[in-house]
Amino acid sequence: MWKTRLTALLFIALGVFLGWYVLSSENNQSNPFRLGLDLSGGSYLVYQADVSEIDPGEVRDSMDALRDVIERRINAFGVAEPNVTTEVHSLGIEGEEQRLIVELPGVTDLDQAVEMIGQTPLLEFKVEAPEADREKIQAQIDEALKTDVSAADIVDGTLTLGSIDYSKIKELQDQLYVSTDLTGKYLDKAQLQFTQGGVQNGGGFQSRPIIALSFDREGAELFEQLTTDNVGKTIAIYLDGILVSAPVVNEPISGGQAVISGNFTIDEAKTTVGRLNSGALPIPISLISTNTIGPTLGHEAVDAGVYAGIIGLILVGIVLILWYRLPGLIAVLALGIYTTIMLWMFKFVPVTLTSAGITGFIISIGIAVDANILIFERMKEEVARGKTLHEAVEIGFKRAWASIRDANISSIISAVFLFWFGTALIKGFALTFGLGILVSMFTAVTVTRFLLLSLTKRDGRVGKITRFLYKTGLTK
């Protein structure tokens, strides 16, 4: 008997401790609740992925790789708790559309949000075209640079070159080099460094930022072969289609190390390094939808959810106590323990709380109450048959268990399917709903049982007050 009472006291102590932890961690912000975009405010971006060139069997892996790249890119900017997910949007008979959902809590500037996603610089290594081709191209460049100087080309005594088509010249210059297999795909890491000697600046020397590249194993082999085949020639390095450096290869370079020594400012070099390290996008994406939620609206949603939960608990508690008296009071205490366990789990897992998630939590409270009602009604039947209170508690729990188990298993199956196939919003509801059902089974079948048994004895003897409170609730 004392073991039962000690266990009941431990459950109460557990509820008090977890409640204290939740309140203290929230007050001092040591481990606050993770709030979703609809509660904290921020930006919501939807991208459409172009998988037309991807083998159908590799679409899933490619979308996962895309998500990982975007996550790394956003994390580099220090955004707190970003949420990047993928989903398949059904287009009816026309098929399906792959989408990338990006949630950025606290980022309410859409332009800033879109810039964070950005585009990874296209890094390319090109080698000189065959000599015959280069001579033809160079001749075309020289021809394009020729211009008939007329009076209209001279302004204030200065010759203008407005008649020259520079876009055509750039196109011809790009043809001096041909693409290779070595691209940013094989880049392992980029680092910002500075030249040792620097460049002369007003009598002194100023270090110049450069970008050091390290390739992976396959990239290192390609780079070594590339430099071996082009000793004495230039290798052009292009970023986003712009030639930034064309160093001469003096000897084969092993180890997979290269340097981009363009005319970067420090800020430009830092940005380029960050974007190179974020990785290339494995799938082209296009922005199709944006939405911004202000922090004020999110705060109001949090207050509304908390208010609804507290009012719901109070009303449920009043009904239980008025109808079942002492068992109702025990159920309310078990619900309190259930609530503290759930709130602790939200912090421990951790769970990103959204409006839909809070809804799932509140609904799971109703399911927890439903389990207690099934148990109490069974207990009433046993008391009416002349069983002692201790026997009524034991038998009532055993006979109610089958109904509680079957009902909760069907709800858990629903939650699993919602989480597996649902969108990000539905997943938030399914997660808190499923966790709530599991915890409610524990509190209803274990916590409530030990609390009730702690107030009875095996021989059926109980105190007068306990007997009165039990019977007025169980023998109506």
Q: 123-278: same fold as 2-33+294-474?
A: no
Q: Are 39 and 353 in contact (CB under 8 A)?
A: yes
Q: What is the mean pLDDT of the chain?
A: 76
pLDDT in tens, 159-171: 445 555 566 777 7
Q: Is the pLDDT of residue 158 over 60?
A: no
pLDDT at 137: 80
Distance CA 470, CA 390 (A): 11
Which CATH number is correct for 123-278, 3.40.1010.10, 1.10.12.10, 3.30.1360.200, 3.20.20.80? 3.30.1360.200
pLDDT at 468: 53
Lowest pLDDT segment from 4-18, 132-146, 332-346, 424-438: 132-146
Q: Span 420-438, mean pLDDT?
A: 81
Q: Span 418-439, mean pLDDT?
A: 82
pLDDT bin (cut points 50, 70, 90) of residue 470 is low
Q: Is the pLDDT of residue 220 over 60?
A: yes
Q: Are 449 and 397 in contact (CB under 8 A)?
A: yes
CA distances to 17, 135, 296, 344 from 20, rounded to whole Å, are 5, 80, 28, 10
Distance CA 390, CA 281 (A): 66
Give the number of residues written for the chain. Answer: 476
DSSP 408-448: HHHHHHHHHHHHHHS-HHHHHHHHHHHHHHHHHHHIIIIIH
Pair of tokens at residue 166: 């520079």
Domain boundaries, the chain: 2-33+294-474, 42-119+285-292, 123-278
Q: Is the pLDDT of residue 472 over 60?
A: no
pLDDT at 154: 46
Q: Are 193 and 269 in contact (CB under 8 A)?
A: no
pLDDT at 295: 59
Q: Which residue from 69, 59, 63, 48 is spatially nearest to 185, judged by alpha carbons?
A: 69
Q: Does 2-33+294-474 carry CATH code 1.20.1640.10?
A: yes
pLDDT at 211: 83
Q: Are 392 and 376 in contact (CB under 8 A)?
A: no
In CATH, the number for domain 42-119+285-292 is 3.30.70.3220
The pTM (predicted TM-score) of the whole model is 0.56
Q: Is the pLDDT of residue 155 over 50?
A: no
pLDDT at 159: 42
pLDDT in tens, 352-409: 777 788 888 888 887 878 887 888 888 777 777 777 777 777 887 888 888 888 888 8
